[in-house]
């Protein structure tokens, strides 16, 4: 019995040491990053926004991001946990597709980028693909009376390339894109 207690105590100490070192490395590493692990803060018109948390844009003059399964509430992130075989989920996605096509009639039967109609696992994804932004370019150009080429150029300038050119997809932060859009005129 005594051997089991001593072994358990030793294992507990070793695990505390290992996890403590891991936490110190992660915490210390975050403090040398540009934002010191606090996320990217963006100020616009006297308001503070976190660029790493999805924002809701409803106006037709702005780019729209991914739908949120948590209504963009950063206090409780999470997905819907409904899979592609779930009938209710398929109805929600179809409704989003119909709404997106109604909001962007210029696109006709063009393929809808998947991130514009499906929520991310966290429900708070701030980014869309370059294709997702380009899908909305004609609507934005028409509503704002700006040339479509100027909108496409803005999208290209706001596109973040993969890390080291290899890791992850190209992406566009919707909040930053909309702030840059407001600064065009």
Q: Give the Cβ contact number of residue 48 at 10 Å.
A: 8
With 80 as the cut, is the pLDDT of residue 61 above it?
Answer: yes
Give the pLDDT band (50/70/90) at residue 175.
very high
With 70 as the cut, is the pLDDT of residue 185 above it?
Answer: no
What value does the CA radius of gyration of the chain take, rounded to a whole number of Å? 22
- Is this model's pTM higher than 0.75 or not? yes
Q: Which residues are registered as beta bridge partners of 44? A: 47
- The pLDDT of 12-40, averaged and rounded, is 87
- Asked whether 78 and 68 are in contact (CB, 8 A), the reply is no
Domain range annotation of the chain = 1-38, 52-182
Residue 43, classed as helix, strand or coil, is strand
Q: Which is more confident, 173 or 185?
A: 173
Round to whole Å and give the CA distance between 66 and 132. 9
Q: Give the Cβ contact number of residue 180 at 10 Å.
A: 14
């Amino acid at each position: 019995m005594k051997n089991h207690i001593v072994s358990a105590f030793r294992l507990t100490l070793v695990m505390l040491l290992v996890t403590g070192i891991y936490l110190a490395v992660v915490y210390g590493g975050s403090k040398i990053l540009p934002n010191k692990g606090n996320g990217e803060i963006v100020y616009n018109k006297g308001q503070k926004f976190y660029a790493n948390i999805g924002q809701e844009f409803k106006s037709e003059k702005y780019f729209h991001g991914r739908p949120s399964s948590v209504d963009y509430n950063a206090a409780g992130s999470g997905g819907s946990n409904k899979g592609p075989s779930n009938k209710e989920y398929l109805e929600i996605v179809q409704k989003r597709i119909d709404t997106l096509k109604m909001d962007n009639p210029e696109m006709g039967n063009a393929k809808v980028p998947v991130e514009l109609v499906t929520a991310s696992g966290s429900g708070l994804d701030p980014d869309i693909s370059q294709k997702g932004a380009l899908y909305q370019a004609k609507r934005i150009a028409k509503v704002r009376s700006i040339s479509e080429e100027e909108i496409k150029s803005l999208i290209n300038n706001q596109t973040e390339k993969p890390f080291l050119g290899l890791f992850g997809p190209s992406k566009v932060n919707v909040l930053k894109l909309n702030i840059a859009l407001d600064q065009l005129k």
